[in-house]
Structure 1
Amino acid sequence: MAITYVIAQRGNPLKPEAPKKFYAQAKSRDELTFRKLSKEIAEGSTTVSDTDVMAVLNDLTKVLRRHLSNGEIVRFGDFGSFQITLNSEGADTEEKFNASLIKGGKVTFRPGVDLKEMLANLKYEKIK
């Protein structure tokens, strides 16, 4: 199955006077909920139920949150890794920089081998 997309016209915020260009914008077909994910994982096993999978995934979320908030990178083998990155204002010198210039953080995911391979082999389909 292909990744569906539409065409969107956008301007360059750094160059507002520049002509707008057209870009691809991915459009999701559906979503996989936590419950559906748990059921699908459980279907691949003869020893665990979807309730068991949900409990493990809930605990995974708690552990991921704890370690990321400690400033750790969390690696999931070939799946990929999660890390906190920061958004801040700049300071003229290192001495003038302080934590009040940090505007927030976000969780960054870096895909591992399996997902990079999947990304390299994507097919695309334009929709209206």
Structure 2
Amino acid sequence: MSVQYSLSEKGNPAKPAAPKKFYAIARSTGEVTFRSLSKEIAAASTTVSDTDVLAVLNDLSKALARNLGEGRIVRFGDFGSFSLRLSSEGAETEKKFSPALIKSAKISFRPGIDLKEMLATLKFEKGK
């Protein structure tokens, strides 16, 4: 498995006078849709069609959103887990904090063992 990268020159915002450095940025080599994933999964099975898999993936997406919206951590076994992460302004005391200080919510993904193993074996090549 090989991941392509490009380079981006960036400065340090905390030290504007410091020389800029080059950093790697992962380059996408395409996309995979729900439909193509469902066909790929169905091809590995003799008992389900791509339509069956697509229906399950659609329901999975809805269940993930519903459970995250209710504040639950959603664990997918060896695949990984999803949870919510909040960004807020600080308050001087606990009593002065209100939900109005919460600025955004993001979804956090923590990869499981299969994805961690994939990350550990990646090779990199500079894109053209």
Query: What is the TM-score when the length of structure 1 is the normalising length?
Result: 0.94
User: Residues of 1 paired with 2:55 and 2:40: CA distance?
Assistant: 14
In structure 2, relative to structure 1, the CA distance for the partners of 1:74 and 1:2 (3 Å cut) is: same
Name the aligned partner's letter for residue 100 of structure 1.
A
Aligned counterparts of 1:65 and 1:54: Cα–Cα separation in 2: 17
CA distance in 1, matches of 2:90, 2:17: 26
Aligned to 1:13: 13
Counterpart CA distance in 2 for 1:51 and 1:70 is 29
Name the CA distance, whole Å, in 2 between partners of 1:26 and 1:52: 33
The structure-2 alpha-carbon separation of the partners of 1:104 and 1:112, relative to structure 1 and needing over 3 Å to count, comes to same
Extract unaligned runs of 5+ from structure 2: none
Residue 108 of structure 2: aligned partner: 108
2:55 is equivalent to residue 62 of structure 1: no
1:69 positional shift: 0.4
| Separation (CA, whole Å) in 2 of partners of 1:14 and 1:64 | 38
Structure 1 residue runs without a partner (length 5+): none
After TM superposition, the runs of 4+ consecutive aligned structure 1 residues lying more than 6 A away are none
Q: What CA deviation, in whole Å up to 9, does each residue of 1:44-98 have, x standing for no partner?
A: 1111111000000000011111110000000000000000100111122222211
Give the structure 1 partner of residue 123 of structure 2: 123
SS in 2 for 1:35: helix
Structure 1: how far apart are the matches of 2:82 and 2:49?
Answer: 27
Q: Distance in 1 between matches of 2:17 and 2:2?
A: 35
Residue aligning to 2:92? 92
Give the length in aligned residue pairs.
128
CA RMSD of aligned residues (A): 1.1
Determine the structure 1 residue equivalent to 2:29.
Answer: 29
TM-score, L = length of structure 2: 0.94
Identity of aligned residues (%): 66
